[in-house]
């Protein structure tokens, strides 16, 4: 073997070199090959503004494990990568960068601003891709896409026109999430709900025509009352049946509003009377539609009050709130103020509290489009893992609202709608019309709005493969097989891809969605900038290597469950890597200069057959787990096998034979062949999880091989199933563990060898222990092993170890230096005599018993019981010595 492994495992020294080798050789690249079965994963596109965080690291590690596994199984595996233009995030970053140069976005103008955005994308857009490469992601970077590249932009235009012509896209006024700072509508995905301390203001609305009678409402946003157009009560609420249909006088505004009955109102919550503000609350908006209520917007785009707020016009919403509450109090209409903690929506980009507001926007009609997406999960065409995600999925599809797709931004896909400057006629088309079809005017202006980022990423599974063109790739690699993503974007992205897949392609975009949880800090908190508890995956990689990070993220990971990040666990993963490295070095050093040939079955020792049988079963189990996407369970089995069965047992058993190469060449050859074969299998099973270390070891162990990446995945084979030998070794392991425990308890140094008598009345078991002597004697520090049917010839003072089906006896004189042990026990007896006297003295002292705390007295009683037990043991051992 010409190559050899470095003395110590140094991830920094190998990872970038190996990644370059993989890329240079095109191992990640997949081309259409009809002779192979395709397997496709599409990467959730990270934002071009993004910096790799632990969520990305987990998400991409899981995808890489699956793609490497399928590649080794012989599939034509495509992991389709790409990045997202991230409309708001990028625009915010570019505006901030310009501001630092003293440039205002509006002074620059749209075209110049977009040039700056593209410059920003060119400079920073590839940063996260390079970070994903450091993680070991084996995506097909030759096929990398961007949501605003020409192909994806063509797909967006195609879908917009098709949906518009079908009547699924329309322009209308509905409630949207409005950010008063960024001055744009934003999607639910960009709204972060945070618990905030607020108040319920209880306000009396006078009943018209009934002097002194009021309806008490409770609100967390008093400033919206200028837009109230009704008060609703539940139709079954006995308290309010008599006022349904009556009129109330809206305080301050002095406008008449009706009392309406609507089942939306919860009788048990608050006062049972709800103010209805259709222009500023999504639920009120729906109630308003049902009762034909007027929609009154009371705020400007910057969240200052508009003319509908009367004398409060021009005030900021919170200043208005303060002054309005004071006026209500003055008028005697403020009943009480109750502290109330509630979820408040804030814009994830700028932290501003979002204002639900009625706006003229572009929407996608969802009622019909969502139907195939519901059916697909119901009938199992699409499987959500874990299964409990079905409930979340249906909860959203059952309550779906039309999707607001327009954004008041410049960076993004511009809406392909054009308006006639003269008559206002609107035309939706891919190209700008030369003239107005209604009045013939040649001045047409394009809609200034852009599309929601999710509109383009909803097409990702097919737009990345060349759609709307009918490409070979699209025909071969679509639909994708698996989507791996966090459970937090099930609504915003997963469902949109599903209904888009059915609408545009006529079939599901993928057959399985594997959800993972969040990576939290060691205290279980969500990682965030505000808490300052985020951990940079690149820092972990620099310190411990990508393999250690990957193993940490997957170990103990179950689909859909959050996990906690501990540095100690990364340390443990690094220790495992060291263990694998050192074991591999030991094997290779022993293989050096040896001509190893495959032994016959008869030449294999029971221990060889045992480890072959174990790695054989491991291959079957791991494959089953991975096919069920139980990645955490699979890697735990590989880890346990390598650390425990292979390193701690088999290598230790085989060592004796490798040291005696010249004495018994056949036995040494069988041991070395087994070591190399099992290490090869174990490396392959570990490769998807820890690609770098397995590549380095495998290519050193097999210099004739190009890469482990394209080697065959281990498959279960009947020829390697050895049930009898598995039992034989398990019995030997029981013996070694039992003897080691006794030696530890008696503090016997490892160098002190002892004779073993193995007694069993079971003839087949005796045969096992006879055959396995070579395997267990070294591990049990035995000088000799005698296997017999009864206790004949075993001294009375022998220490016994009971194991399943047998008892092992160790002569006491082999374990103990009698004189030294007597001396030690005598000293221990003297120490315990003093302790017992002290303890008994304290417990017979009335003063101590009456004054000391109960816990202290109990502690002393526990000590006495412990000393008495220890004294019994010492005296028993001394009696044995005599």
**CA dihedral for 449, 453, 455, 459, sign (positive or negative):** positive
The helix/strand/coil state of 509 is coil
Task: Identify which of 48, 30, 52 has the alpha carbon closest to the alpha carbon of residue 40.
Answer: 30
Give CA–CA dist 557/346, Å, rounded: 31
Distance CA 694, CA 707 (A): 10
First to last CA, the chain: 59
State phi, psi for 803 to the nearest 5 degrees.
-130, 165
CB distance 241 to 229 below 8 Å:
no
Helix 652-659, helix 606-627: angle, nearest 10: 140
Label each residue of 550-579 as H, E or C. Answer: HHHHHCCCCCCCCEECCHHHHHHHHHHHHH
Is 781 within 8 Å of 714 (Cβ atoms)? no
Query: Do residues 725 and 626 lie in contact, with contact meaning Cβ atoms separated by under 8 Å?
Result: no
Rounded Cα distance between 479 and 460, Å, is: 11
User: What is the CB-side half-sphere exposure of residue 194 using CA atoms within 13 A?
Assistant: 15
User: How far is 457 from 473, CA to CA, in rounded Å?
Assistant: 19
The full 3-state SS of 637-703, as one line of letters, equals HHHHHHHHHHHHHHHHHHHHHHHCCCCCHHHHHHHHHHHHHHHHHHHHHHCCCCHHHHHHHHHHHCC
Question: What span, in angstroms and rounded, lies between the C-alpha atoms of 780 and 783?
Answer: 9
HEC assignment per residue over 126-171: CHHHHHHHHCCCCCCHHHCEECCCHHHHHHHHHHHHHHHHCCCEEE
Distance, in Å, from the CA atom of 325 to the CA atom of 329, rounded to the nearest integer, reads: 6
**Which residues have a Cβ under 8 Å from the Cβ of 726 and sit 6 or more positions away?**
610, 613, 614
Peptide bond into 386 cis (omega under 30): yes
Residue 817, SS3 per DSSP: coil
Paired with 564 in beta bridges are 520
Retrieve residue 163's tokens.
Answer: 């949906």
In angstroms, the CA 300 to CA 304 distance is 5
Buried b (16+ CB within 10 A) or exposed e, 401-410: ebbbbbbbbb
86 vs 455: CA distance, rounded Å: 11
The DSSP code for 275 is: E
For residue 228, give Cα distances in angstroms to 214, 251, 254, 322: 16, 10, 11, 18
529 is in an annotated binding site: yes
Using H for helix, E for strand and C for coil, what is the string for 698-753? Answer: HHHHCCCCCCCCCCCCCCCCHHHCCHHHHHHHHHHHHHHHHHHHHHHHCCCCCCCC
Cβ-contact 178, 301 below 8 angstroms = yes
Q: For residues 88 and 163, what is the distance between their CA atoms, to the nearest angstrom?
A: 24
From the CA atom positions of the chain, what is the Rg in Å? 37
What kind and span of H or E run contains 341?
Answer: strand 334-347
Task: Please state the residue numbers annotated as binding site.
Answer: 529
Task: Please state the residue numbers annotated as binding site for ATP.
Answer: 529
């Amino acid at each position: 073997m010409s190559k050899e492994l470095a003395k110590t495992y140094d991830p920094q020294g190998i990872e970038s070199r190996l990644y370059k080798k993989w890329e240079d050789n095109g191992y990640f690249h997949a081309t259409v090959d009809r002779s192979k079965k395709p397997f496709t994963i599409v990467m959730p596109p990270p934002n071009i503004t993004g910096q790799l965080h632990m969520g990305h690291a987990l998400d991409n590690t899981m995808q890489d494990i699956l793609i490497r596994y399928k590649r080794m199984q012989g599939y034509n595996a495509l992991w389709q990568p790409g990045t997202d233009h991230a409309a708001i995030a990028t625009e915010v970053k570019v505006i901030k960068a310009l501001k630092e140069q003293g440039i205002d976005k509006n002074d620059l103008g749209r075209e110049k601003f977009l040039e700056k955005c593209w410059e920003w994308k060119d400079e920073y857009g590839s940063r996260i891709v390079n970070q994903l490469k450091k993680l070991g992601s084996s995506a097909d970077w030759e096929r990398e896409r961007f949501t605003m590249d020409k192909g994806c932009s063509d797909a967006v235009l195609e879908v917009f026109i098709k949906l518009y012509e079908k009547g699924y896209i329309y322009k209308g006024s509905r409630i949207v999430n409005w950010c008063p700072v960024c001055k744009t509508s934003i999607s639910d995905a960009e709204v972060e709900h945070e618990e905030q301390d607020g108040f319920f203001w209880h306000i009396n609305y006078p009943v018209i025509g009934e002097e002194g009678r009021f309806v008490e409402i409770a609100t967390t946003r008093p400033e919206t009352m200028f837009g109230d157009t009704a008060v609703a009560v539940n139709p079954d609420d006995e308290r309010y049946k008599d006022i349904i249909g009556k009129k109330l006088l809206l305080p301050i505004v002095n406008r008449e509003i009706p009392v309406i009955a609507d089942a939306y109102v919860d009788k048990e919550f608050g006062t049972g009377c709800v103010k209805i503000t259709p222009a500023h609350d999504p639920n009120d908006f729906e109630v308003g539609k049902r009762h034909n209520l007027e929609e009154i917007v009371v705020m400007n785009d910057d969240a200052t009050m508009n003319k509908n707020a009367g004398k409060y016009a021009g005030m900021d919403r919170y200043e208005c709130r303060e002054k309005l509450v004071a006026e209500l109090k003055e008028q005697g209409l403020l009943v009480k103020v109750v502290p109330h903690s509630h979820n408040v929506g804030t814009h994830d980009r700028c932290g501003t509290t979002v204002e639900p507001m009625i706006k003229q926007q572009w929407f996608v009609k969802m009622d019909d489009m969502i139907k195939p997406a519901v059916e697909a999960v119901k009938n199992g065409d699409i499987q959500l893992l874990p299964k409990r995600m079905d409930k979340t999925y249906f909860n959203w599809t059952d309550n779906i609202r039309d999707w607001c797709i327009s954004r008041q931004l410049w960076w993004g896909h511009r809406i392909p709608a054009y308006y006639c400057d003269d008559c206002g006629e609107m035309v939706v088309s891919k190209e700008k019309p030369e003239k107005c079809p209604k009045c013939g005017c040649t001045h047409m202006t394009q809609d200034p709005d852009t599309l929601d980022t999710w509109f383009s990423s909803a097409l990702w599974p097919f737009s990345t493969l060349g759609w709307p063109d009918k490409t070979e790739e699209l025909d071969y690699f679509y639909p994708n097989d698996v989507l791996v993503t966090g459970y937090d974007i099930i609504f915003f992205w997963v469902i949109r891809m599903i209904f888009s897949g059915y609408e545009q392609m006529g079939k599901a975009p993928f057959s399985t969605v594997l959800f993972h949880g969040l990576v939290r800090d060691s205290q279980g908190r969500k990682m965030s900038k505000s808490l300052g508890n985020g951990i940079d995956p690149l820092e972990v990689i620099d310190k411990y290597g990508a393999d250690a990070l990957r193993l940490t993220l997957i170990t103990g990971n179950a689909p859909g469950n959050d996990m906690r990040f501990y540095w100690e666990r990364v340390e443990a993963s690094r220790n495992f890597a060291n263990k694998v490295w050192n074991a591999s070095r030991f094997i290779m050093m022993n293989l050096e200069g040896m001509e190893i040939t495959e032994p016959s079955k008869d030449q294999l020792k029971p221990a060889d057959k045992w480890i072959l049988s174990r790695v054989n079963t491991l291959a079957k189990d791991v494959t089953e787990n991975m096919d069920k996407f139980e990645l955490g369970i699979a890697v735990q089995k590989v880890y346990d096998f390598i650390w425990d069965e292979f390193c701690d047992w088999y290598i230790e058993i085989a060592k004796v034979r490798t040291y005696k190469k010249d004495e018994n060449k056949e036995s040494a050859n069988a041991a070395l062949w087994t070591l190399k074969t099992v290490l090869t299998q174990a490396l392959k099973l570990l490769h998807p999880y820890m690609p770098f270390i397995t590549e380095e070891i495998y290519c050193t162990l097999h210099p004739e091989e190009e890469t482990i990446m394209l080697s065959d995945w281990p498959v279960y084979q009947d020829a390697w199933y050895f049930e009898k030998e598995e039992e034989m070794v398990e019995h030997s392991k029981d013996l070694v563990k039992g003897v080691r425990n006794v030696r530890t308890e008696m503090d016997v140094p490892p160098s002190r060898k002892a004779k073993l008598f193995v007694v069993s009345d079971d003839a087949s078991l005796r045969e096992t222990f006879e055959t396995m002597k070579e395997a267990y004697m070294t591990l049990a520090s035995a000088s000799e092993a005698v296997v017999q049917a009864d206790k004949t010839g075993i001294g009375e003072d022998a220490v016994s170890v009971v194991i399943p089906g047998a008892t092992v006896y160790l002569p006491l004189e082999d374990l103990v230096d009698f004189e030294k042990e007597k001396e030690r026990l005598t000293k221990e007896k003297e120490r315990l005599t003093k302790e017992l006297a002290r303890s008994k003295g304290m417990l017979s002292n009335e003063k101590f018993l009456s004054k000391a705390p109960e816990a202290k007295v109990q502690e002393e009683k526990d000590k006495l019981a412990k000393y008495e037990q220890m004294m019994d043991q010492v005296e028993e051992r001394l009696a044995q010595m005599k």
